[in-house]
Amino acid sequence: MIGFERPAAERPGLRTVLGDLGPAQLATGFIAFLFSATGPLAIILSVGTHGGLTSAELSSFVFGVFFINGLITLAMSWAYRQPLALFWTIPGTVLMGPALQHLTLPEVVGAFYATSLVVLVLGLSGLARRVLEILPTPIVMSMVAGIFLQFGTGVVRAVHGDFVLAGSMVAAFFALSAVPQAGKRMPPLIGALLVGFAVVILSGRLDAAGFHGFVLAQPQIVPPAFSLLAMAELVVPLAITILVVQHGQGFSVLQQAGHRPPLTAVTVAAGIGGMLSAAVGAVGTALTGPTSALITSAGSPDRHYATAMVTAVLAMLFGLAAPTFVDLLLGMPVELMLTLGGLAILRVLLTALSMAFHGPFSFGALVCFLVTVADLPLLNVGAAFWGLVAGVGASLLMERDAFAKAPN
């Protein structure tokens, strides 16, 4: 067993948190929440619908991934005074889709419990920390860049598909970014969001037909069923996705933003969060990559924890009223969210690319980047994991000296 990292010596009180909440923290926290509540939410709805889940089961799933994980994010960010955004694994949600075609929901939930137990044990034993520490940073950052690239190209696709909406948002973002004084008064991302909302409303494109008023979530307890077929199909891919891919992204993003995230505490929290989420039929918990990137994209690093707390509170409120907000967000054009997420990720993508291809391990980073961007899963495990495998393998063959000189 390995000891937990010590929490912050001075955990912030309410007055300190409120003092650290400025326009940048509120705006960025809202953008990070909005990202989670749009594209990733659409994946949940798509997977669940095709997997035969009822509306009540979907609502319970959404409650779990937002409210329970929002509560964990709030507690961890406060305790460690760092932006520790633990939400759900998007690749894990995708893995759930094919499994629901031939497994029952209780069997899938049983695999969720088993995966979370594996994550918890590996966190407590220190093995998860060791795996993450020995992975070369440039190769991990190339994997991050490969994943984030789709968000950047999403902006281009959005502008091509809806020039008026996406184009006006891009124009507003770069106009505010190019004039520092204007950018201080109106954060570029918020300016782009407001312009996008204005275009949607003025053009009459807000679809309110599916809105049925305010409805509170009613989470359902899903009793697990443990089957060998479900364990063989889901546990190993899900555990790899959470521990290597998701946490690899999240830790790298936080480190490049100037933080030192507690590896053991985060992994243990992910294991516990996954078990609590499984109870209401939801997929496992993981430290997020894209959401962490958005949270740390603006403001002083010592106030990023407050940004994460904003995201967490909004996520909890969203989870409590999941049916209501799902109906509202499904009425927004998809191009608005694609553009917003892509613009928010641009600087993080640039930093990831710079770290990946500057210095040692650059050949392995290139191989990892190409495999990740190709996005071809193998053995039910996503391309990001195989990108890491291919990148490390290429460096072992072509860049042995880099390993010899590495501090790890």
Query: Using one digit for the tens of pLDDT, what is the confidence trace for 136-156?
Result: 888 888 887 887 788 788 889
Tokens of 204: 């009459």
Please, are residues 63 and 219 in contact by the beta-carbon 8 Å criterion?
yes
Query: Residue 146's pLDDT is what?
Result: 86
Query: Is residue 382 helix, strand or coil?
Result: coil
Mean pLDDT, the chain, rounded, equals: 86
Q: What is the DSSP string of 343-357?
A: HHHHHHHHHHHHHHS
Residue 1 has pLDDT above 60, yes or no: no
Contact 254, 304 (CB under 8 A): no
Cα distances from 255 to residues 229, 327, 361, in angstroms, run: 38, 36, 18
* pLDDT greater than 70 at residue 274: yes
Tokens of 346: 């641009």
pLDDT in tens, 324-336: 776 666 677 878 8
Looking at the predicted structure, is the pLDDT value of residue 221 above 80? yes
Kindly state the average pLDDT of the residues 98-126. Answer: 90
Q: pLDDT at position 406, please?
A: 62
In the chain, where the domains are located:
19-349
Distance CA 14, CA 1 (A): 34
- Of the pLDDT bands very low, low, confident and very high (cuts 50, 70, 90), residue 211 is low
Quote the pLDDT of residue 107.
93
Single out the residue of 129, 143, 354, 356 nearest to residue 261, CA to CA.
129
Q: At what angle do helices 163-178 and 334-356 cross, to 10 degrees?
A: 50
Which residue has better confidence, 128 or 267? 267
How buried is residue 397: exposed, middle or buried, by Cβ count under 10 Å (0-12/13-18/19+)? exposed
Confidence band, pLDDT 50/70/90 cuts, at residue 213 = low
Q: Cβ(308)–Cβ(81) under 8 Å?
A: no
Assess whether pLDDT exceeds 90 at residue 116: yes
Residue 273: pLDDT band by 50, 70, 90 thresholds? very high
Neighbours of 402 (CB within 10 A): 19
Mean pLDDT of 209-230: 82
Residue 17 has pLDDT above 80, yes or no: yes
Mean pLDDT calculated for residue range 342-368: 85
Report the 10 Å Cβ neighbour count for 395. Answer: 26
